[in-house]
Structure 1
Amino acid sequence: MATLKSSSDRNSGAVPGVQNGEDFKVQVFSSSSELLEKLHDKWSGKQKPYPAMYSSIFGGIILDPEMMVIPIDDHMVHRGHGVFDTAIILDGFIYELDVHLARFLRSASKAKITSSFSQSTLRSILIQLAAASLCRKGTLRYWLSAGPGDFLLSPAGCPAPAFYAVVIDEDFSQCKEGVKVITSTIPMKSPLFATMKNVNYLPNVLSKMEAEEKGAFASIWVDDEGHIAEGPNVNVAFITPEKELVLPFFDSILSGCTAMRLLELAPKLVELGHLKSVKTANLTMEEAKGASEMMYVGSTLPILPIIVWDDKPIGDGNVGKLTMELSDLLWEDMVAGPETLRVPVPYA
């Protein structure tokens, strides 16, 4: 009889009792208490990476990681019928929560999912979740799905949509070191799916894996017309030799909340004479690779300098001065920006 191996054995690539032809005994849990005991053993003595979760299925906030689960028949799980978004918790404040929630509900509308909660109720749930987590620095991720019901293609058998959210205790800071990127060969999403933040991220995953296999941090998508699009889960921006900040148009890619905020803040550098202009425009591969500076733009970065693309340096191959000035603008906005963008978390 084969014996069950530890998770570390499984993660090493060994499949117990299968590769060598031995019988593999599957454990049967005869009661919920027996299963919970097994789950408790798994988490015993470990630091909880997810201090709190909300589930509309349970109707409340969960602090026990053993119970942070989603039904297998949720339409988001087996059909990818769901949307999500993310907000940052920094120094006890949630950054741009209302902006992210507005995009979240726009994505839900495109996915034909109607939230059972209003935007203000979702906001209240997420603030209470952050407070219950006691997390002062991390990410707040949340999903809206068509809900559980059955395993059919149509969501008609799903009685009600489901809302899930989790707090992830996560450290992050300004990115000051440059990274390498490649041009992705994985087909990018069509505009309908690229402009809604849905859970169908397989192209994004494969694009990221392709880059890592080639020793790069991530990748850049180029659309069918030869214009620069975006990264696998970030926007991309360029400083031209004429000192113009240029981001690709958002008509066929996701309009990142951080990228939109960058466009609002960057004119400060125009006023100081450091930048000539700030704009969105189509950029060809040749124009983009001729940039003086290049960067990823995303919530947890907020800016990540890019210094090499397809094994060729961007500009002089060093982190650009204007890139870091823009990074400082965004970071200061996250840390001590306007009250309208920084929602305080009422910790007990």
Structure 2
Amino acid sequence: MASLEVENGGDFKVPVFSSSSELLESLHEKWSSVKKQPYPAMYSSVYGGVILDPAMMVIPMDDHMVHRGHGVFDTAIILDGHLYELDVHLDRFLRSASKARVASPFPKSILRSILIQMTAASKCEKGSIRYWLSAGPGNFLLSPAGCPASAFYAIVIDDDFSQHKEGVKVVTSTIPMKSPLFATMKNVNYLPNVLSVMEAEDQGAFSSIWIDEEGYIAEGPNMNVAFISQDQELILPCFDKILSGCTALRLLQLAHKLVEQGRLKSIMTGNLIVEEAKNAAEMMYVGSTLPILPIVTWDEQPVGDGKVGELTKALSDLLWDDMVAGPVTLRIPVPYGK
């Protein structure tokens, strides 16, 4: 391995890798210090297969998703060796791709098969998978016309998540949220989301709440938000200007059990102004990896009595039970060892 030294650069020398073997040796040295591999498998249509070597889990710099943000993504949970709501997420994934004008290199059935086989190869039984469709590599121009083919990438994330029993603090975000066109597709342009979370962390909060330009409650940076009113109504903001969360939609279905039990009065989606939302008895985030995260403080004010509400706990149990032992149509067994 050679090195370059530029005049006035002091003692700093840039390594120059003259062969792939030298580069791989350096990358393997980096990963050898990691106690637990967080990404046990990746798929790349550029490579044409599943990768188990973390040193090779990379995508091309000239991929249009990297330098222009021209791509979409989605996710699914792995729990007890099953993929939860994979088909629902894949349907949304392809809707997002259509809006972003990214053609899939494979039909849905093949995408599904790739994700199941990748998860099986990973041996991971608890965590998540995340997958992307990109306009593909080709050049660094603005238009994707010079990209020969779109690309599909996916990765397994080993993560020991569990139900959230404790509540968190949130703040109202001052970062402008995305326009409805971009907010309703799950695209990779997440800089507003990143800045919104960083703003919350600067204030000692877990995350934030977006308010749309009309003054209605919208969503969190990467999760939906739900409320229990003082009259025991479950209310979620309308999905016309925000991402329709797969977990949020499933929650709306499962919550009918609490209505049948007389614990919830009703279930609805609608426009909520800030004053109405802050008067709620309970508040929660809803998202795939949560699935419910109670919110007990908003802008330094307690939500309800400032404690995790009983209906929030009940909704969390409903979703968790669905993930663990729900319908076979929602829980796809992963064929490990086959």
The TM-score bracket by the shorter chain reads: over 0.9
Question: Does the alignment pair 1:31 with 2:19?
Answer: yes
Query: What's the counterpart of residue 225 of structure 2?
Result: 236
Query: What's the counterpart of residue 217 of structure 1?
Result: 206
Query: What's the counterpart of residue 324 of structure 1?
Result: 313
Question: Any stretches of 5+ residues in structure 1 without a counterpart?
Answer: 5-16
Which secondary structure state, in structure 1, belongs to the residue aligned with residue 130 of structure 2?
Answer: strand
| 2:136 counterpart letter in structure 1 | G
Alignment of 1:20-59 (within 5 A): 22-46=10-34, 47-59=36-48
Out of 279, 290, 298, the position equivalent to 1:301 is: 290
Q: Percent identity?
A: 77
CA offset digits 1:160-195 (Å, max 9, x no partner): 000000001111000010000000000000000000
Q: 2:91, 2:298 → 1: CA distance?
A: 34
Q: 1:296, 1:123 → 2: CA distance?
A: 28
Question: Cα distance, 1:45 vs. partner?
Answer: 4.8
Question: Cα distance, 1:23 vs. partner?
Answer: 4.5
Query: What's the counterpart of residue 142 of structure 1?
Result: 131
Which secondary structure state, in structure 1, belongs to the residue aligned with residue 322 of structure 2?
Answer: helix
Query: What's the counterpart of residue 146 of structure 2?
Result: 157
Q: 1:308, 1:255 → 2: CA distance?
A: 24
Which secondary structure state, in structure 2, belongs to the residue aligned with residue 340 of structure 1?
Answer: coil
Query: What's the counterpart of residue 116 of structure 2?
Result: 127
Question: Cα distance, 1:43 vs. partner?
Answer: 1.1
Q: 1:75, 1:328 → 2: CA distance?
A: 41
| 2:171 counterpart letter in structure 1 | I
Q: 1:281, 1:241 → 2: CA distance?
A: 16
Q: 1:81, 1:45 → 2: CA distance?
A: 34
| 2:32 counterpart letter in structure 1 | S
| 2:122 counterpart letter in structure 1 | S
Q: 1:130, 1:229 → 2: CA distance?
A: 33
Which secondary structure state, in structure 2, belongs to the residue aligned with residue 30 of structure 1?
Answer: coil
Question: Cα distance, 1:25 vs. partner?
Answer: 1.3
Which secondary structure state, in structure 1, belongs to the residue aligned with residue 307 of structure 2?
Answer: coil
Question: Cα distance, 1:48 vs. partner?
Answer: 1.3
CA offset digits 1:276-300 (Å, max 9, x no partner): 0000000000000000000000001
| 2:121 counterpart letter in structure 1 | A
| 1:189 counterpart letter in structure 2 | K
CA offset digits 1:53-110 (Å, max 9, x no partner): 0000000000000000000000000000000000000000000000000000000000
Query: What's the counterpart of residue 176 of structure 2?
Result: 187
Q: 1:23, 1:274 → 2: CA distance?
A: 70
Paired residues in the alignment total 332
Out of 195, 205, 222, the position equivalent to 2:194 is: 205
Query: What's the counterpart of residue 178 of structure 1?
Result: 167
Question: Does the alignment pair 1:77 with 2:66?
Answer: yes
Query: What's the counterpart of residue 314 of structure 1?
Result: 303
Question: Cα distance, 1:44 vs. partner?
Answer: 1.6
| 1:111 counterpart letter in structure 2 | A
Alignment of 1:62-141 (within 5 A): 62-141=51-130
Q: 1:72, 1:66 → 2: CA distance?
A: 16
Question: Any stretches of 5+ residues in structure 2 without a counterpart?
Answer: none
